[in-house]
Amino acid sequence: MAALSIHHIGVAVENLDEAAQLWAALFGAAVEHRDTVEDQGVEAASLRTGSGRVELLAPLGPDTPVGRFLAKRGPGMHHVAFEVADLAAELDRLRRDGVELIDEVPRRGLFGLQVAFVHPEATGGVLAELVMDERR
């Protein structure tokens, strides 16, 4: 198979407004979307950076995946997301190969996109997201 292209980098932050201002000032990355996903306990901002994106993730509370990540590791790189054309097919392929998945089936991610996460145990310590994005 061909290597997948990077869709975005996810970054865990304490304060979404402050982080968005910082990334704009440092790198000229403008916010294109903001979204809250209650069932993931996260508020996010997607920043356009040339052909790619940075996704800033702030927890809605301490007892959420990103809240626990911040408590354990502090702010910083959270995940890398790869764009795929057919998410269900990619998940089938990985499952057939015995890869440990967090999501066995696609779920709704930020900005209404279909996403699924691959367990960091399977990648050498990096949380990986697969995403289908028909916006571009």
Contact residues: Co ion, CB under 5 A = 10, 55, 81, 129
Separation of alpha carbons 18 and 46, rounded Å: 14
The residue (of 94 and 129) whose beta carbon lies closer to Co ion is 129
> Taking Cα atoms as reference points, which of 77, 74, 68, 64 lies closest to residue 129?
77
What's the min distance (Å) between Cβ of 72 and Co ion? 19
8 Å CB contact between 77 and 125:
no
The residue (of 81 and 118) whose beta carbon lies closer to Co ion is 81
| CB-CB neighbours of 132 under 10 Å | 18
What's the min distance (Å) between Cβ of 24 and Co ion? 19
What's the min distance (Å) between Cβ of 40 and Co ion? 10
